[in-house]
Structures are given as structure tokens and as C-alpha cells.
Amino acid sequence: MMGKGKPSQKSASSFSLKGTFIAVMLLGVFILASWFGAYALFIAR
């Protein structure tokens, strides 16, 4: 299990979501790269 001492009781909105932001952006980049890859193949054929 995840755990490192007692969890903080701080409000969820007080934490940075930098990692989430980067992860979602990377997800977007992956989707776009896959789409343009398929598009290039489509155009080439």
C-alpha cells in the first residue's frame, strides 16, 4: 500500500497538480502524433 506516515488532512485544492498537467499534455501529444502518423500514411498512399 501507499503510505509514508500519517496522510495530510490539507484540502485537495491546496496541492499542486503539476504532474497531472504534464501527464495530460503528454497524452495529448501521443494522440496527435499517432493521428498525424496515420494521416501521413493516408496521404502517402
Q: Is 11 left (phi over 0), alpha (psi -120 to 50) or beta?
A: beta
Q: Does 24 bind other proteins (CB under 8 A)?
A: yes
Cβ contacts of 12 within 8 Å, gap of 6 or more? none
Instruction: Determine if 30 is a binding residue for other proteins (CB under 8 A).
Output: yes
Q: What minimum distance in Å lies between the beta carbon of 36 and other proteins?
A: 10
The residue type at 5: G
> What is the contact surface with other proteins in residues (CB under 8 A)?
1-5, 7-8, 10-12, 15-20, 22-24, 27-28, 30-31, 34-35, 38-39, 41-42, 45
